[in-house]
Amino acid sequence: MVDANLLVTHEPSHAGSAKENVENALKAIKQKAKFLKSDSEGVFKLRVGNAKKIVKSLSKLKGKKAMFEHTFHWIPIEKWTAANVKAMQKEIKKLQKGIKKTEKWKMDLHKRHFEMSLTELIMKLTEVVDKPKVDLDNPQKIIAVQIMGKKAGLALLNKDEMMTAAHD
């Protein structure tokens, strides 16, 4: 089964306009995407070429607010795993090898349909990361965790490989 390698969050009541935003933004950087079935309202699951490169290119267009009007976050996914603490810890332990001891990092976690408190979950998932420099405001690396029901999408990203669309 082909899994999504890019998640785009949007306002559920504007799914049509949001999809148009995604298509137009990708067209602007000459990329195509396959929309996959999403079980979570307000999240598009996309299959694209190189998700990190695409988000990096798109963040250069952030000044064109209308292009991202109905989307919120653009998050590349490198690996899907079961949404249970053990499985996620195992993948995070592998991902964190990409963070140098001198680099500042943070975890960016979003959960949908998952029964553990956010704080408890972050404590559990970050305990397998043995990098000393946590920086929530200006990290060089971000461990992205997107939990959607029974599956969790994970990635280790540079800060320009994840995008939050600017809304005024």
**Residue 148 carries which side chain, given as an amino acid letter?**
M
User: For the chain, how far is it from start to end, CA to CA, in angstroms?
Assistant: 39
Identify the weakest region by mean pLDDT among 38-42, 70-74, 143-147: 38-42
122 part of a folded domain: yes
CATH number, domain with residue 91: 3.30.2130.30
Can you tell me whether residue 117 is helix, strand or coil?
A: coil
Let me know whether 124 and 85 are in one domain: yes
pLDDT score for 32: 94
164 part of a folded domain: no
* Mean pLDDT computed over every residue of the chain: 94
Backbone angles phi, psi at 98, to 5 degrees: -80, 0
Let me know whether 95 and 128 are in one domain: yes
Residues 43-81 have pLDDT tens digits of 999 999 999 999 999 999 988 888 899 999 999 999 999
Full-model pTM: 0.93
**Structure tokens belonging to residue 76:** 């590349």
H-helix segments, 29-157: 51-59, 85-95, 118-126
Q: What is the mean pLDDT of residues 80-101?
A: 97
Residue 24: domain span: 6-77
56 part of a folded domain: yes
pLDDT score for 79: 97
pLDDT score for 50: 97
The distance from CA 110 to its chain's CA centroid, rounded to whole angstroms, is 9
